[in-house]
Structures are given as structure tokens and as C-alpha cells.
């Protein structure tokens, strides 16, 4: 399940990025921008992955003037907030390349980037943040996702023969540890299966934290497909 941003969430993100609360000057367009990531066409999601949904949010606010000031900064901040809230990324260990970030947002604002191109570029910002863990194959990259909701770890990368793999580390509901290496497709199917086992259980904090961890796996399997 995707957690979409509300209008209030976008304003909070914009306030953090701009240092002031952005003033909405075009309410109807603002609401359309907020709703765009969830767009459906003929029963199909217009933006099928979290990364394209976040890219659509960035694109919408960067290419419209719904705020009196801070449109591009709000676009950038809202995009990353959506990824973070859905556990697709953890806290960055190093500063992002600000020149590259400004270049991306500028190109988006000028209409020079498709949604898919934006998503691909966002991946490139994430990859340098990934570290190395344990005795995994050479070149295999790990993204650490530790939050107040529980503990999980997902790695994405390629082994020397070029095969993309997803490494999953998960503290189970009974405190046992799962450590599995799978293809992206296998990881997605695994996550869907695990999620189906817990979604009808009680809504305790433990179960909810486990659900959030599995959601992170789903979004990381999307990331692995782009490597």
C-alpha cells in the first residue's frame, strides 16, 4: 500500500525546504498536483512504481506555479518525503550533489525530462548512499533502513556476471531473522506473500512495523530493476 502525501504534507515539506511556509496561489492546480501520483487510467495506475509516483509529484510542482514562491524547492522536498515515508530510502549518509539536484529540477521545470527519466535520475542520487555489508558478492550494494517502526535491511545490486539481485534482511514477528538473496521479481513476490500473511492480523505496533518493512522491500525491488 502506498502512503500518498496530502496537501498539508506538501506544505510541510516546502516549508522545510524554503525556510518559510509557501503560499498557495492556485488551489485547484495545487490539489491536482497532490493527487497526480495516484492517477488511474482505465483501471491501471498511470505511475506503477513508487519511484514514478514520486517523480510525478516532483514534475507537477516543478512545472506549475501553484505557489507564490518556492515551487521547485517544494517539488524536490515533496518527492523525497514521499520516498522516505514509504520506506523506499533511509536517511542519507552523505550530502546529495546539490549541483546535480539543481540541474535535474531545472530540466524538469523546462519540460526536458519524462517521468521515467526523473525516476532514473533519482536512483542515481540514491546509489552513492549505499554501503557494503557482510560477505555479499563484489559490487553488491546495500541500503540500510532502520526506523522507529522496526528493523529491516534491503540491498540492491549486481553480481559480477551482471545478474541483478535483492538481498533481504528482516527481523520477523517472532524475532527470528530472515536473510535471503533473490532476483527482483522473486523479491517482489516474496514481499507480496509475506504482506498477505499479516494484513488481516491485529493492528498492533509489531504487525504494523512488519508491514512497513515489507513495503520497503517492494519499493527496493523496483529500484533493483533500474540497476
What digits encode the pLDDT tens for the residues 186-220? 666 766 666 666 555 555 555 555 555 555 555 55
Contact (Cβ atoms closer than 8 angstroms) between residue 93 and residue 86:
no
Question: Which of 188, 197, 186 is closest to 215 using CA atoms?
Answer: 188
Query: What φ, ψ does residue 61 adopt, rounded to 5°?
Result: -80, -25
Which range has the top average pLDDT, 8-12, 118-122, 163-167, 190-194?
Answer: 8-12
Q: Report how far residue 198's alpha carbon sits from residue 213's, in angstroms, rounded to the nearest whole number.
A: 12
What digits encode the pLDDT tens for the residues 76-112? 999 999 988 876 665 555 567 888 899 999 999 999 9
Contact (Cβ atoms closer than 8 angstroms) between residue 38 and residue 52:
no
Contact (Cβ atoms closer than 8 angstroms) between residue 51 and residue 219:
yes
Separation of CA 208 from chain center: 19
Q: Report how far residue 11's alpha carbon sits from residue 210's, in angstroms, rounded to the nearest whole number.
A: 29
Domains of the chain in start order, with CATH, are: 7-128 (1.20.120.1870), 130-225 (no CATH)
* Total count of residues recorded for the chain: 227
Burial annotation 108-132 (CB, 10 A radius, 16+ → b, else e)? bbeeebebeebbebbbebbeebbee
Residue with cell 514481499: 191
What digits encode the pLDDT tens for the residues 27-81? 999 999 999 999 999 999 999 988 899 999 999 999 999 999 999 999 999 999 9
What are the grid coordinates assigned to 140, written together? 553488491
- What's the pTM? 0.63
Amino acid at each position: 500500500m502506498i502512503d500518498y502525501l496530502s496537501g498539508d504534507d506538501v506544505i510541510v515539506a516546502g516549508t522545510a525546504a524554503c525556510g518559510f511556509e509557501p503560499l498557495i496561489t492556485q488551489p485547484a492546480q495545487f490539489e491536482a498536483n497532490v493527487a497526480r501520483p495516484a492517477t488511474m487510467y482505465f483501471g491501471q495506475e498511470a505511475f506503477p512504481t513508487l519511484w514514478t509516483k514520486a517523480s510525478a509529484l516532483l514534475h507537477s510542482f516543478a512545472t506549475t506555479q501553484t505557489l507564490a514562491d518556492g515551487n521547485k524547492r517544494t517539488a524536490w522536498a515533496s518527492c523525497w518525503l514521499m520516498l522516505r515515508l514509504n520506506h523506499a530510502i533511509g536517511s542519507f549518509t552523505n550530502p546529495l550533489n546539490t549541483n546535480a539536484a539543481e540541474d535535474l529540477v531545472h530540466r524538469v521545470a523546462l519540460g526536458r525530462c519524462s517521468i521515467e527519466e526523473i525516476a532514473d535520475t533519482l536512483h542515481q542520487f540514491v546509489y552513492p548512499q549505499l554501503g557494503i555489508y557482510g560477505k555479499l558478492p563484489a559490487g553488491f550494494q546495500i541500503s540500510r533502513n532502520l526506523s522507529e517502526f522496526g528493523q529491516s535491511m534491503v540491498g540492491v545490486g549486481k553480481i559480477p556476471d551482471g545478474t541483478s539481485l535483492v538481498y533481504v534482511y528482516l527481523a520477523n514477528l517472532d524475532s527470528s531473522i530472515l536473510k535471503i538473496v533473490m532476483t527482483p521479481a522473486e523479491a517482489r513476490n516474496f514481499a507480496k506473500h509475506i504482506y498477505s500473511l499479516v494484513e488481516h492480523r491485529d493492528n498492533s505496533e509489531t504487525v504494523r512495523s512488519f508491514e512497513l518493512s515489507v513495503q520497503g522491500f517492494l519499493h527496493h525491488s523496483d529500484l533493483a530493476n533500474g540497476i
